[in-house]
Structure 1
Amino acid sequence: MSFIARAIQVPPNSATLEEARKRTFSFFKQACRSIPTVMDIYNLDDVCTISHLRSTISAEIRKNAHITNPKLMTSWSIFLQQNLSQVQKFIPKSWKKPSSQTLFQQKIPTFDEKLQLDSISSSLQTFANQGNLIKAFESYSLIQNYVSSSTFSYSLLTLHSICSLLICCTTTFEKSFSQGKQLHAHIITLGFEQNHVLVPKLVTFYTNVGYLSDAYVITLNSKKGCCFLWNLLISGYMKYGFWREAICVYKQMLSIGVKPDKFTYPSVLKACGNELDMRFGREVHRSIYASCHEKDQFVQNALVTMYVKFGELKVARDLFDKMPVKDVVSWNTMIYAYSSKGMWQEALMLIERMPMNTVTWNVLAGGCLETYNYRGALELISQMRYHGAELDCVTIVIGLSACSQSGFFKVGKEIHCFAVRSCSDGIVIVKNALIIMYSRCNDLGHAHVLFRSTEAKSLTTWNSIIAGCIYLARYDEASFIFREMLSTEVKPNYVTIASILPYCARTMNLSHGKEIHCSVIKQKELKDHLLLWNSLLELYSKSGKMLEAQRIFYSMHEKDKVTYTSLIAGYGMQGEGQVALLLFEEMNKYRIKPDYITMVAVLSACSHSGLVLEGQMMFERMVNEYKISPQMEHFACMVDLFGNVGLLKRAVQVIIEMPFKPSHAILATLIRACRIHGNTHIMEWATKLLYMRTKE
């Protein structure tokens, strides 16, 4: 411990008694700071406390409290600092345990060496903050080289350095996963795997890179039943959309006796809401009331949100009304709940009770957007300007999305102009929304200009322009941009691949589709995305590769109406109408409700296979059982069904009775059937009707 004396640099004499006392007190503070190191060397944690040794040093100083001469006092202080090793004599021999090397046999670093180590440590911290992992590890290697050649303990410096490296690996996890794993192994070799500072950082690292099983093992093996670690783990599962797994982790946490806190409940309630697990959600609700967290604002908001997702608006409203304090989130959650269900009167009543702000207006406009009320969303944005509310980037994105879906191109350009005036056009989400709007409104030229003018193209930017090209059937351009994207550092995600796969299906580019299929299998993070597998299923079905489509179908753990519709349509095109109907019944067995696209696929399958009775029954079930209003496509399928088997009068009856004017495609289908069956009378009638429709 004599290195403290060297570092203090006390002059030989003090000018005054007050200055001498200050220097003595400074020595006392330095000596107390070295106490933990002494206890570590002699393994005194279980027989002695820090306060015991501090009292010993204090008692020695007080023995010389009678000295009043500054020169004598300073000389005594220097002598005591130079003989600081005498502190060990005050430690009872019964306390001391065998140690391979005592502190006083160690090579003490000089003041210059300590400054050099501090400089290297500071450099490591700077490199880590900048995300320069290579330089940070080089600095750490320098520290380790010095530590390995020294007999002095540097555990705190090593710990601090590892913390900085772990944080750097976490923030740059896409490029530093292997370094993070090596760092974890190094932590284990140093014996720090249970350190209360490092364990949370390890859990955060593994959850960020998506290795949730590793994060789970670290949390489970942690000796301290720390709720904070379990919260990090649950949040990790939530980040990747693993709602069911997050609930299971919560149950595991309870089973080992770890009590949840106010930060645990919001995540678990969100998982229950997204998983639509009403039974367990209510169980968690009861446990919240049994704890002391039922009045926490975040917990109350999470409860309201969960019941909104369950569709239990009365329960949600009851909880909302009982909240002693309501923040913006509370109000917006209930307003969104009512607006998304089309309950505008209830939503407006709540709006009258709260002060309106930009967020609330955005929630209302977003509710209109989700209920396909695009005109209503644009009208609300207009009212925002009338009432003087600020239009932020979220408002602009909602407005552009409404224009994209409704085709209000002129309004979309006006919103673009406003974005330019408000300097919001450079924001990434706004630019992406503009690309989608222009491409959806058949102006791919402007979409390309915006895309090329974006310097730092995000993944969403690439996805937006590719989706726009696919929407306008510019498949070659979509393929070119997709390959250009692969040459950059931006990696495609499931949305990108799900966008490009329809291009492969529509152009029958099966070889390109198989390449994408292989890349999907190789990337583990893509295996759980239903949208992606539905797109692959559609690709093989449209290409007539029903064996491959069937393999994908039966390998999928989760299926929805899109999954069944794609396979039904594929079998229908191959003339396998009976198989398609069996799949439809299986779909009903699993309580997957069909939509109007599913019914088009079913009726088309009946038409291709000549299943007249089955087709008529399906049409009736669509109207009476599933409450789906027949659209032009459904009537077209029925005309094709009757026309293929020669029931031309029935086909004419469908055209006459349907609530739409017959399209060119329906009349062309009827004319083709008349030619096949030689019915010139009906063919003449259909031809005249087609001529009249063409003149219109």
Structure 2
Amino acid sequence: MQGAGLSPDAVTFACILKACGSIGAADKGERIHDEIAYQGLLESDVVLGTALVDMYAKCGALGKAQQVFQKLFSRNVITWSALITGYCQHGEGAKAFECYEQMQCENLFPDAKTYACILKACGDIRELDKGEKIHDEILRQGLLDNDIVLGTALVYMYAQCGVLIKAQETFNRLPYRDVTSWSALIEGYTQHGQCEKAMEYFEQMRAEGISPNVVTFTSMLKACAAVGAIAKGEKIHDEISKEGLLGSSILLDTALVDMYAKCGVVSRAHKVLNGLYSRDISTWAALIAGYAQQGHCEQAIICLEQMQEEGLSPDHTIFSSLLNACSHLGRVDEGHMYFALLTKRFGVKPDLEHYTCIVDLLGRAGHIDKAVRVIQEMPYSNNIEVWSALLAACRQWGNTYIGKWAFEHAVQLDKKNTAAYVIMADLYASAAMREDAKGIQVLGVENEA
């Protein structure tokens, strides 16, 4: 078109921007943005401005989308929806809800699509109260009738917030259910520990002739991992392979590796990972945690090194999972080794969670004095999680002297910490120090713990 000497008009530019957003071509979209600005087309054209906001939002360039949005002379519901949708799709639920509130201040009222996005945001950030208010508004406007997208968004919001009864009720009232509706419900049950229920609905969905998608399969793999249902997990693995979905989603791939690792079949987990074209830190973390939980420390370290060779640096989460595994297995030496690797070989600065894991590890193994030394030397000693871990260890091993010291620090940081009073009273009671136990209980009441 341009080769023929014809210049695009605003409508043509809007269509091209939509195409750029659909394929994630942010660079091409930016060049078109420059051309639009050069021709002065953006000043009063809300359709073109909305197309630009939408393009940047879909490409994940949310800062750019916000900049364009703020410079527009006029914004309509569609413009706001484009920005809100972008924030929702890229995990910025809080920002999406902030835009929703600003939109209302401009006396613009959301349509069904915008409400669906906001409900997803409420679910992602666990804002049940706000989600319920939006539900009421949707009912007041009569928008829910026969709208499967909006109904599914409500199911998702309630499920993510853990209100599974309400999610179920909303799901049951849908005029029909598609794979997205089923996935929202199944994901909610899985996330909130009702894995058997999730599996039951998975089978019911299949019985209704609806094929699972990536989200459904991911949720089911997580459910299998949580309850150790290796046979079920293997069947789902076969289905994923037949559908050609393996390698299509990092979340799905990671869930599969994690399922085998948590079910104790780490060799299969490693085989799956090796067969993946692309893997990120979370995929490696699932495998490494699996090796650590089985006590295969050398193999875990080899995986850490292979990860580095792929240009991925181990993060705090990986070391936390390693230290937690050692703590629950009582592997003190391995825990110390991983903690040393953290800084010396991989250059990761230990954070509060790592120190808490080490204190917990030493405490569980009965090395109370060593745990105390770690606390005295760490830069985060003024933190309740660390003192709580030490106090719990003192109860386990009946150390009233150090326990009292840990308790005093814990309540100094939070005098209403109910758990600290309960643990300390229990520690005294176990040591037949009944008067001291009563004194702690009285102190808890006085401090309204």
- For normalisation by structure 1, the TM-score amounts to 0.51
For 1:637, the aligned partner's letter is C
Distance 1:679 1:312 in 2: 67
Query: Would the aligned equivalents of 1:404 and 1:438 in 2 still touch at CA under 8 Å?
Result: yes
Relative to structure 1, is the Cα distance of residues 640 and 585 closer, same or farther in structure 2, using a 3 angstrom cutoff? farther
2:158 match: 438
- Quote the Cα distance in structure 2 between the aligned partners of 1:495 and 1:297: 35
Per the alignment, residue 336 of structure 2 pairs with 612
Question: Residues 617-696 of structure 1 correspond to what in structure 2 (within 5 A)?
Answer: 617-618=341-342, 630=351, 633-643=353-363, 644=365, 646=367, 647-653=370-376, 657-658=380-381, 660-662=383-385, 666-667=389-390, 670-671=393-394, 675=397, 681-686=401-406, 689=410, 691-692=420-421, 695=444, 696=449
Paired residue type of 1:584: L
* Residue equivalent to 2:308: 588
* CA shift for structure 1 position 308: 7.9
Render the CA deviation track for 1:62-110: whole Å, top value 9, x for unaligned. Answer: xxxxxxxxxxxxxxxxxxxxxxxxxxxxxxxxxxxxxxxxxxxxxxxxx
Give the counterpart of 1:413 among 123, 128, 132: 132
Deviation at 1:453, TM superposition (A): 1.3
Q: Which residue of 1 aligns with 2:270?
A: 550
Task: Let me know the Cα RMSD of the aligned residues.
Answer: 3.8
Match among 381, 390, 394 for residue 109 of structure 2: 390
Per the TM alignment, residue 409 of structure 1 is displaced from its structure 2 partner at its CA by 1.6
The aligned residue for residue 439 of structure 2 is none
C-alpha distance in structure 1 between counterparts of 2:90 and 2:336, whole Å: 36
Asked if the contact 1:568/1:605 (under 8 Å) is kept, the reply is no
Say which structure, 1 or 2, has more relative contact order (CA 8 Å, 6+ apart). 2
From the superposition, tell whether residues 396 and 306 of structure 1 become closer, same or farther in structure 2 (CA, over 3 Å).
closer
Q: Distance in 1 between matches of 2:301 and 2:400?
A: 34
- Verify the 8 A CA contact 2:280 2:312 in the aligned structure 1: yes
Match of 1:521 in 2: 241
Identity, % of aligned positions: 23
Q: After superposition, where does 1:326-365 map in structure 2 within 5 Å? A: 326=42, 327-333=48-54, 336=57, 341-342=62-63, 347=66, 350-365=69-84
Contact 2:388 2:420 in 1 (8 A): no
Which residue among 121, 131, 138 is the counterpart of 1:402?
121
2:415 maps to what in 1? none
**Cα pair 1:358 1:389 within 8 Å, conserved:** yes
Q: Deviations over 1:521-573 (max 9, x none)?
A: 33335564443332121111011111211221212222112210100110111
Pairing partner for 1:501 from 212, 221, 235: 221
Q: Which amino acid aligns with 1:470?
A: T
Distance in structure 1 (CA, Å) of the matches to 2:217 and 2:276: 17
| Alpha-carbon distance, 1:350 to partner | 4.6
In the TM superposition, residue 639 of structure 1 has moved relative to its aligned partner by 1.8
- Cα distance, 1:610 vs. partner? 2.1
The residue identity in structure 2 corresponding to 1:332 is V
Does the residue aligned with 2:385 lie in a helix, a strand or coil? Answer: coil
Report Cα offsets for 1:27-83 as digits up to 9, x if no partner: xxxxxxxxxxxxxxxxxxxxxxxxxxxxxxxxxxxxxxxxxxxxxxxxxxxxxxxxx
Looking at structure 1, the residues matched to 289 and 136 of structure 2 have their Cα atoms a distance apart, in angstroms, of: 44
The change in CA–CA distance for 1:476 and 1:304 in structure 2 (over 3 A counts) is: closer
Deviation at 1:645, TM superposition (A): 8.8
In 2: Cα distance, 1:333 partner to 1:362 partner: 9
Corresponding residue for 1:377? 96
Letter in 2 for 1:618: L
In the alignment, is residue 321 of structure 1 matched against residue 37 of structure 2?
Answer: yes
Matches within 5 A, 1:557-596: 557-596=277-316
Alpha-carbon distance change, 619 to 423 in structure 1, aligned in 2, over 3 angstroms: farther
* 2:255 corresponds to 1:535: yes
Structure 1: distance between partners of 2:334 and 2:350:
23
Cα distance per residue 1:298-354 (max 9 Å; x no partner): 6752697599866899767534523564514543147648995557xx935753433
Offset of 1:613 from its aligned partner? 4.8
Equivalent pair of 1:377/1:402 in contact (CA under 8 Å): yes
Structure 2 unmatched runs, 5+: 43-47, 411-418, 424-443
CA contact (8 A) 2:77 2:108 kept: yes
Pair 319,573 (structure 1): closer, same or farther in 2 beyond 3 Å: farther
- 1:493, 1:526 within 8 Å by CA — same for their partners in 2? no
Distance in 2 separating the partners of 1:349 and 1:629: 40
Query: 1:355, 1:491 → 2: CA distance?
Result: 44
CA distance in 2, matches of 1:581, 1:319: 52
Gaps of 5+ in 1: 1-261, 263-288
Aligned position for 1:297: 13
Whole-Å separation in 1 of the counterparts to 2:390 and 2:89? 36
Instruction: Tell me if the contact between 1:407 and 1:441 (Cα under 8 Å) persists in the aligned partners.
Output: yes
Residue 469 of structure 1 corresponds to which residue in structure 2? 189
Q: Counterpart of 2:154 in structure 1: which amino acid?
A: L
Q: Deviations over 1:375-427 (max 9, x none)?
A: 44323222322322231122212221222122222211110011112222231
For 1:580, give the aligned amino acid. A
Match of residue 427 from structure 2: none
* d(CA) in 2 for partners of 1:493, 1:307: 21
3-state SS, counterpart of residue 108 of structure 2 = coil
Query: Structure 2: how far apart are the matches of 1:332 and 1:393?
Result: 20
Distance 1:299 1:432 in 2: 29
C-alpha contact (below 8 Å) 1:612/1:642 kept by paired residues: no
Tell me, in whole angstroms, the C-alpha distance in 1 between the residues paired with 2:142 and 2:87.
26
| Equivalent position amino acid for 2:300 in 1 | A
2:247 and 2:276 in contact (8 A); partners too: no
Q: Distance in 1 between matches of 2:23 and 2:80?
A: 22
Native 8 Å contact 2:292 2:325 kept in 1: yes
**Amino acid corresponding to residue 451 of structure 1 in structure 2:** F
**Equivalent position of 1:108 in the other structure:** none
- How many pairs are equivalent? 400
The code of the aligned residue for 2:80 comes to W
Tell me if the contact between 1:401 and 1:437 (Cα under 8 Å) persists in the aligned partners: yes
CA contact (8 A) 2:292 2:300 kept: yes
**Contact 2:326–2:334 (CA<8 Å) still a contact in 1?**
yes
Amino acid in structure 2 at the alignment position of 1:691? A
Distance in 1 (CA, whole Å) between partners of 2:420 and 2:361 is 23
Map 1:128-143; keep pairs closer than 5 Å.
none
Task: Please give the per-residue CA displacement for 1:589-621, whole angstroms capped at 9, x wherever unaligned.
Answer: 212355543332244466645242541441588
Aligned in 2, Cα 1:388/1:490: closer, same or farther, shift over 3 Å? same
Is residue 307–residue 315 contact of structure 1 (8 Å, CA) maintained in 2? no
